[in-house]
Amino acid sequence: MFTKKNMAFAFFLLLFHYNAVCQKLKVGDKSPDFEAIDTNGDTLKLSNYKGQKVMIAFFRYAGCPVCNFRVHDLIENYDSILSKGYKIIAIYESDNVTLKEYLSETKVPFPIIGDPNLKLYKEYGVQKSFWKMLGSAFKKQPMQAMKKGGKLFSKKHKRDGSLSRIPADFLVDENGILTTVHYGNNIGDHLPLIEILK
């Protein structure tokens, strides 16, 4: 018989298990190679970027206003990021069908991959955190991003990802080695673009 105490224990056990299997990467690690289909239907292989620097950005889901704000920030700084030699790959929890609908109102100049089965999230150790998600409500930066990002949508998108997903960003050098690893501390905590543009 399940009591509230047992259910709470099972919930925290599940969280512990998820974080245990999603081991975080660190600077100096080889960036996990992957092959995936992007929203254009093209097959994208990380190994094809050998000899180039890559920024891999993990987001939450297509309807996330904080993510929307970040994507617009990347678009606005896209030419400057390219000038530093970086290509961008964005990954969402949403599927490609939902993402294509999202992209109908937001033209993005870099490939976006839908990963609803969370294969890439697990390979890169991108985690969920109920507490970090909850704590975001008390931080100025993610709340401002949520407000501004929400206004950038012309229509609402259904949530098809986890509310507790925390974003992460990775910079990969020409040899496929991670030079920067940034796991967010809240739902809007991404690698500051100054780290790329400096």
Residue 162: pLDDT band by 50, 70, 90 thresholds?
confident
139 CB-near residues (< 8 Å, 6+ apart): 186, 188
The answer, yes or no, to whether residue 96 has pLDDT greater than 50, is: yes
**Alpha-carbon radius of gyration of the chain:** 17
Mean pLDDT of 94-121: 92
Q: Note the pLDDT tens digit of each residue in 64-95.
A: 888 888 999 999 999 999 999 999 999 999 99
Residue 187: pLDDT band by 50, 70, 90 thresholds?
confident
Mean pLDDT of 149-158: 58
Q: Note the pLDDT tens digit of each residue in 8-55.
A: 554 544 444 444 446 899 999 999 999 999 999 999 999 999 999 999
The pLDDT, as a whole number, for residue 19 is: 46
Whole-structure pTM value: 0.82
Residue 153: pLDDT band by 50, 70, 90 thresholds?
low
CB-based contact 55:81 (threshold 8 Å): yes
The pLDDT, as a whole number, for residue 105 is: 78
Q: How many Å separate Cα 82 from the centre of its chain? A: 19
Nearest Cα to 70, choosing from 96, 48, 92, 54?
Answer: 92
What is the DSSP track for 4-36?
A: HHHHHHHHHHHHHHHHHHSPPP-TTSBPPP-EE
Distances (CA, A) of 140 to 10, 60, 114, 137, 166: 32, 19, 29, 8, 16
Residue 125: pLDDT band by 50, 70, 90 thresholds?
very high
The Cα 149–Cα 131 span in angstroms is 22
CB atoms within 10 A of CB 190: 22
The pLDDT, as a whole number, for residue 18 is: 45
